[in-house]
Amino acid sequence: MNKEKYPILSRIDSPEDVKVLTSEECRALAQETREFLIENVMKTGGHLASNLGVVELSIALHRVFNSPDDRIIWDVGHQSYVHKILTGRKERFDTLRTPGGLSGFTKRTESPHDPYGAGHSSTAMSAALGFAYSDAISKRGNYTVAVVGDGAFTGGLVHEALNNMRKNLRLIVIINENEMSISKNIGRFSRHIAKMRSTRGYLKTKSFTRKVVSRIPLVGKPLFRLIRSIKKALKNSLYGSNYFEDIGLYYLGPVDGNDEEAVEILLREAMSSKQSCIVHVKTIKGKGFAPAESDPAGYHSVAPGQDPDCLDSHDGQSNFSARFGELLCRMANSDERICAVTAAMTDGCGLKNFAHLYPERFFDVGIAEEHALIFAAGLAAGGMKPFVSIYSSFLQRGYDSILHDIALQKIPVTVCVDRASLSEKDGPTHHGIFDVSFLYGIPGTEIYAPCDFESLEKFMDLSLSAAGPVFIRYPNSGPFSSACECLVYKEPYLRSSFAPGERLDGIIITYGKIVEKAIEASFALSDRGFDCGVVMLEKLKPLQIDAVMKYIPDEKIPVLFLEEGIKSGGCGMNFYEKAKKFPTMLERDFEILAIDDNFAEAFSAGTDIYSSAGIGAEDICNFMTGHRATAKDCPECADIDNK
C-alpha cells in the first residue's frame, strides 16, 4: 500500500488500530478508505455504491465493538468491503472476487471477523438472533450486531426474526436506510427531534433521569414509568411512533450514518442499554463519489476495469435478460393477460421497460421470492398469464412455492430462471447450478434451455399454451455463438454437429452455456485426431429420449453427458435412467461430467471456474481419450481452461 497516498489507512491492520484514532484522523480515514475502494473495486469489479455509503458506519462499529468477540453480521455481505479493509484484509484487496482471493461477501473461512457468511438478503437478523440466544444461554457478555439494509425489510424473513426478538438480549440491529423511509418524517420539527435524540447531552440526561427517579423510595419506579409514557405519548403525537417501538423494542435514531461521531454516540448508548436495540442510520449510497451518488443503482455493482467516471454503455440486445424483457413487452402489447413479476430485480432481469410501459401489469414484490411465485400462481389461476423472472440462486428460496402452490395444482406459471450458470465473480452464493436438479423431480414441469434469442422467443410463446408450470433457464450472457455456428437443428429441441449414423470417436451431450466448452474441447480433440461430436439439448424435460438416442451409434464409443449443474438428480442422471432401457446403451462407456457433491468454489489464483468444478475442457479430454491429459499432452485444452 502506498503510505504517502494512504497515510492513515496504511496504519490500520486490525480494529484495535481504529480505536486509537482521533476524530480528525477518523475523518481522514473515511476519505482515504473511499479513495481506496474506488481505486480497487473499479479494477476488480464488485459492489461500489453501497460500500461507499457505509464507510463511517463501519469505522464507528469497529471503534465501539470488539470484533471478533463481538460479532458483526452484514446482511447479504455485499457491503462488507470496508469491514474487510479494517480487519486486516486490505493488502489482499486486489484479489477481490477472483479465484482464491477475497470473496465479494462475508465468508466464515476467510476471517474470524466474519462470524456468518452471506450472499442472499434478509438472513442477518435470524442468524444474529441465534448468536444472541446462544450467548444468553451460555451467559456470555459479548454483543451481536446485525447490519441490515432497508431493502431487506421487503423480505418476510426479517419480520419473522423480529417476531422472535426478546428484549433482554445483547443484540443490536442497525437499520441502514439508504433508499426508502422507515420512520415517519414530518418536516423540520421531526428533523430537529431526530438530531436532539442523537446527541450526547440528550442521552446523558435520559440516563441520569432514569437512575435518579428510579431510586426514589416507593414511588420511584412507577414515577419513571409515568414520565416515560407521557414522553412517549407526546413524542408520538408530534413526531409519530415507528414499527420497532410499537412492537416493544428499544429504538435509537434516525441519525446521519455518514457522520461517524453521531453514529458512535448511538452505538455506545445501544451497548450501554444491555438490551435488544434498534439503531436507525441513514446513509447515502455512493457517498463521496459524484457519479455513484447521482446513479447509485448503476454503480451498485461495477464490472472489472471500468472507467471510474462513467459506466460503459449497455447494449440492450447483448444478453438473454434484456431480450427477455423486450420480448415480453412485445407479447404484452398484443395480450392484455400477460404480467411480469420479479423479486427486487427489475433492472437485472431486464424488466425496466416493461415496468414503464405496463405499470398496472408489472409487480416488483421486493426480496420475497416465495411470495412472488405464489402471487403469480394466484394471477394465473385468476386468468392472467404471469411471467416470473428470478435468478437461479434466489429461486432456491421458492422451492416449496413451486412444488406446493404451482405444480401440485397444475397452474400455468412461466418462470424465467436468470443467471442459470456458474458465477465466476460472485462464487458459490450465486452459482445457478441447482435449479435443474431441484426442478426435475417435480411432476408436471417443463424445462427449456434456449441457445439463442430465437429459441428464447419460441419457448416463451410455447409457455402461453402450457397446461402447467414452464421453466426457461438462461445464463447472464448473450447467445452461445459457437453453438449457433457449429450446431444445427436436427430435431425440434435438439441441435448437433453431426448427422445420425455418422462415424465418430466420441459424443458429448450437453445443454446451456457449457456447450461452448464442449465445442472448444471437440476442436482440441480434433487437432489430436479424435473426432468428437456434440449434441445440445434445448428441452430438458420432458426429455426427448428417442430423438437423442438416434445420435448414439451401435459402436462402442465413449458418450459423455456434460452438465453445468449439480450431478445428483440432474439432467444427466435422468437421461441415463431413460437411456439404459435401450439395449445398446448398456454397453456404452458412459459418464456424467457434472458438479459432483460440492459448491464449485475456485480456491486457487488463476484457476478457471470450470476446471475448479471438474467440468473444464481438460476434464472432457481426459474422459474422451481415456488418459489424464496434461498441458503438454493437450495445449489447446489447457489454453481453453485458462481463458
Q: What is the pLDDT of residues 380-412, one digit of tens each?
A: 999 999 999 999 999 999 999 999 999 999 999
Q: How many CA atoms lie within 13 A of 613 on its CB side?
A: 27
pLDDT band at 311 (very low <50, low <70, confident <90, very high): low
In angstroms, rounded to a whole number, what is the distance separating the alpha carbons of residues 506 and 366?
A: 48
In the three-class reduction of DSSP (H, G, I as helix; E, B as strand; rest coil), residue 145 is classed as strand
In angstroms, rounded to a whole number, what is the distance separating the alpha carbons of residues 616 and 621?
A: 9
In angstroms, rounded to a whole number, what is the distance separating the alpha carbons of residues 558 and 626?
A: 9
Q: What is the CA radius of gyration of the chain?
A: 28
- What is the pLDDT, as a whole number, of residue 194? 43
Q: What residues are labeled active site? A: 285, 369, 397
Residues of the chain with CATH 3.40.50.970: 9-183+242-302, 320-473
Judge contact between 492 and 419, C-beta under 8 A: no
Q: Which residues contact 528 (CB under 8 A, 6 or more apart)?
A: 625, 634
CA angle 98, 70, 167 (to 5 degrees): 120
- What is the pLDDT, as a whole number, of residue 199? 53
Which of 484, 545, 543 is CA-nearest to residue 513? Answer: 484
Q: How far is CA 16 from CA 29, 34, 174, 575, in A?
A: 14, 20, 22, 57
In angstroms, rounded to a whole number, what is the distance separating the alpha carbons of residues 274 and 218?
A: 25
CATH numeric code, 320-473: 3.40.50.970
Which residues does residue 593 pair with via DSSP β-bridges, in sequence order? 562
Which of 543, 476, 546 is CA-nearest to residue 512? Answer: 476
Judge contact between 251 and 194, C-beta under 8 A: no
pLDDT at 218 over 80: no
| CATH 3.20.20.140 for domain 9-183+242-302 | no
pTM recorded for the entire structure: 0.85
Judge contact between 361 and 385, C-beta under 8 A: no
- What is the pLDDT, as a whole number, of residue 626? 80
User: How far is C-alpha 285 from the geometric centre of its chain's CA atoms?
Assistant: 18
**Topology given in CATH for the domain delimited by 497-642:** Rossmann fold (3.40.50)
In angstroms, rounded to a whole number, what is the distance separating the alpha carbons of residues 69 and 273?
A: 18
- What is the pLDDT, as a whole number, of residue 608? 81
> How many residues in the chain?
643
pLDDT at 628 over 70: no
Residues of the chain with CATH 3.40.50.920: 497-642
121-130, 296-305, 532-541, 608-617: which range is least confident on average? 296-305
